[in-house]
Structure 1
């Protein structure tokens, strides 16, 4: 009888264990996607593979969604920021932007949409632990804002998002990144209100993430392409400003110091070219004046002795007509070639330096001013000699070669 008693006892224990197991299975068998408010679903989370599949499918169908731009950025740099949590990225796409897409059904079933979400207390904890970014723009909104900005002003960064074809849902480009670049450059544009709201300082709460330290908001964070110089039309300090070219943007102290000295010596070079050009003009005027006098003495059609104010005016006009009638000599052709090259260089440098001062960057502004000041001292003797020669050639009138 002992063996039978042992078997009976073992069977009872087995049945008890099966009953306990069945109870546990029933407790764990709640479908949290159907009844997410069930108390047993508080700690429920979508499997990582499911989230990954949903994100990959969504971003394959519409890669230009802002959430997909963020997802790509997070994957490329293997970021671990809170807003890069896969479930949070899924929320960025599904809570407001595209809740009706097929691959959003798991998120919507679990957490609802922004329009119909019930109290977070009745939802799984993951819905509040990894929520969407507050004020995150929708695909259509981000695309419309980028197009509006670039239609109003063709800024650096607009080339990233060509205007969509008529009837297209949105611009097929990185709308979130482009929108951030444009608003970093000119944050006070009306179209940047959404960007400011998304990037505003706020502590993490159950319904939002603090996105202000991301590369989409913070200056100096991320690649240089994500940090264009701000366009400040007033005197300011700081490293980051466009200096004549799109790629000439000093971003640290050493680059800034190098830029300062480059502009200073460029201004000195401008002064050198200007002084040399003026000296050549006086020298050529002396030579041409002597040659013209010799020609005029042998040509009775040109009178150099008209008296009176009107006579002087007529004499100048006659001189001009006579000069225009003369064919250019080889010497004059050479002089004009040199004159054209020097004028081109001098004018180009002059306007380039003017554009530098228009950056309103105080140290760069004074690099040009100091260069002009030092240049005026360095070339003071040469300019004085040029003025003396000019007065001597023109008979003290200050008009070299006027006759």
Structure 2
């Protein structure tokens, strides 16, 4: 009987030790999970803090990442160079728009028009037999393909300038506006000549 009670007491003691070890393991596991969650929350806050550093309002300064990760400006010298580069980009964008209109003007200037009457009207055509008729542009022509490439380049530059403006850096925005205004000053006055010509061609 005493031996049985001793075994029962020993068994109960082992059960309590097993229970205590399980409780300790459970406590350690909870501490590990909480530590991981705190660490993850800290990383999230750090990431959120880093994201909030991107100003969404107009600001000055010369520390800026422009368009690409490698275009990371942290000194005044490279920032001035970036200002000039963006200025030239905006200027060339206006020049590209005029150049496309100039090519269109040349295409119209190369066309020869003559009055052609329908055959059933009994009116002789004004064009002489050896005079070329109106040349209709085609979709697969080299001139249209060239214009298509220029159009794609124009769209690309326009989006790049838009993204530069979206940095909200006041100086870079000024570079875009000044470059565009200067480009229009240099090339825009010729557009009235092109528009006047095309309006009188029809």
Residue 36 of structure 2 aligns with which residue? 139
Q: TM-score, normalised by structure 2?
A: 0.66
Give the superposition deviation at 1:144. 4.4
Residues 300, 240 of structure 1: CA spacing in aligned structure 2 closer, same or farther, 3 A cutoff? Answer: farther
Q: Does 1:372 align with 2:180?
A: yes
Give the superposition deviation at 1:234. 0.8
Residue deviations 1:337-359 (CA, integer Å, cap 9, x gap) = 11101100111111111111111
Residue 358 of structure 1 aligns with which residue? 166
Give the superposition deviation at 1:300. 5.5
Q: Distance in 2 between matches of 1:373 and 1:259?
A: 18
Give the superposition deviation at 1:390. 2.3
Contact 2:138/2:144 (8 A) holds in 1: no
Q: How does 1:92-103 map to 2 (within 5 A)?
A: none
Aligned with 1:339: secondary structure?
helix
More helix by share: 2
Root-mean-square deviation (CA, aligned residues, Å) is: 3.2
Q: How does 1:291-302 map to 2 (within 5 A)?
A: 293-294=113-114, 297=116
Higher relative contact order (CA 8 A, sep 6+): 2
Q: Distance in 2 between matches of 1:300 and 1:351?
A: 52
Residues 138, 274 of structure 1: CA spacing in aligned structure 2 closer, same or farther, 3 A cutoff? Answer: farther
Aligned with 1:297: secondary structure?
coil
Q: TM-score, normalised by structure 1?
A: 0.35
Residue 345 of structure 1 aligns with which residue? 153
Residue 271 of structure 1 aligns with which residue? 94
Q: Distance in 1 between matches of 2:78 and 2:36?
A: 38
Q: Distance in 2 between matches of 1:333 and 1:359?
A: 40
Residue 241 of structure 1 aligns with which residue? 64
Give the superposition deviation at 1:364. 0.2
Aligned with 1:282: secondary structure?
helix
Residue 68 of structure 1 aligns with which residue? none
Aligned with 1:238: secondary structure?
coil
Q: Distance in 2 between matches of 1:388 and 1:272?
A: 19
Aligned with 2:72: secondary structure?
coil
Q: Does 1:387 align with 2:195?
A: yes
Give the superposition deviation at 1:327. 8.8
Q: Distance in 1 between matches of 2:64 and 2:201?
A: 47
Residue deviations 1:293-344 (CA, integer Å, cap 9, x gap) = 55x827669xxxxxxxxxxxxxxxxxxxxx9xx8938xx6111111101100
Give the superposition deviation at 1:242. 2.8
Unaligned runs of 5+ in 2: 1-26, 121-134
Q: Distance in 2 between matches of 1:249 and 1:360?
A: 15
